[in-house]
Structure 1
Amino acid sequence: MSYVLLKHLHVTCVVLSGAGFLLRLFWMWRQSPCLQWRISRVLPHVVDSLLLLSALSLAWISGQYPFAMDWLTAKLIGLLLYIGCGMMALKRGRTMAIRLRFGGLAVLAYGYIVAVALTRQTLPFV
């Protein structure tokens, strides 16, 4: 698979992952039964798996790796924060207020990851 095709797949999965998270966060806030649909529980894992595989493939092809490139290390740390906050927002938070706070933090982490990817700077807002 070519680098350009992999990059397009990766960017598409980034958009789908973020939009899917926002949709599930909205459903959680509204206490919608849509969260219990099978596709709502399976599709995010498929998209995120493709996202991770395309990221690993891009790193391999380009020879750019986390811990060797500061901006990729920043993206990895942001990803871990996004995952942790997202889990608290959608599953583990005890109250709606806690879930919504973690949802906001997850959205901020997502924005940071995208900003780092676009600027290749660890502090893209400075």
Structure 2
Amino acid sequence: MEYYLDIKHLHLSLITLSGVLFLLRGILMLKSSKALQMKTLRIAPHIIDTGLLISGVSLAVMLGLKPSEAPWIMAKLIALVVYIGFGTIAIKRGKTYLIRATAFIAALCTFGYMVSVAITKSPIPWA
């Protein structure tokens, strides 16, 4: 537990960075900007999200949290998969502008859900 606060702050910083970068990339996608193809904007999300996943797993291990015993952790993991799916459709795989825009909004909503689950420690944060 010696490094818990350091890892938690890193995790929170990476969440913010990941969210802001996804928002930026989504706006560029909506504007059909060529900037979206910049190497930095294609590589940075993978590096940030890998760090985010490693820090999240590290925190769960430090706290002895298991998805099977902590429903909010399981909810975040499921939401993460959904978020990645929507994000991929929004930024890369959506065939039409409407599909991409809809997936972008859905991804942002999913991101918000994950944040609210983390804050409330409940898989149903609005209850």
Classify the TM-score, shorter chain.
over 0.9
**Residues 44-96 of structure 1: CA distance to partner in whole angstroms, max 9, x if unpaired?**
11100100000111111110121220010011111111000000111111000
The 5 A counterparts of 1:25-64 are: 25-64=26-65
Give the superposition deviation at 1:34: 1.1
User: When the two structures are superposed, what TM-score results if normalisation uses the length of structure 1?
Assistant: 0.97
User: What is the Cα-based RMSD across aligned positions, in Å?
Assistant: 0.9
Query: Take 1:93 and 1:39, find their aligned partners in 2: how far apart are those partners?
Result: 21
Query: Take 1:65 and 1:86, find their aligned partners in 2: how far apart are those partners?
Result: 26
Which residue identity does 1:95 align to in structure 2?
A: T
**Residues 25-48 of structure 1: CA distance to partner in whole angstroms, max 9, x if unpaired?**
000111111111111011111100
Give the superposition deviation at 1:125: 1.1
User: When the two structures are superposed, what TM-score results if normalisation uses the length of structure 2?
Assistant: 0.96
**Residues 88-111 of structure 1: CA distance to partner in whole angstroms, max 9, x if unpaired?**
111111000000001010001000
- Runs of 4+ aligned residues of structure 1 deviating over 3 Å after TM superposition are none
How many residues matched? 126
User: What residue ranges of structure 1 are gaps of 5+ in the alignment?
Assistant: none
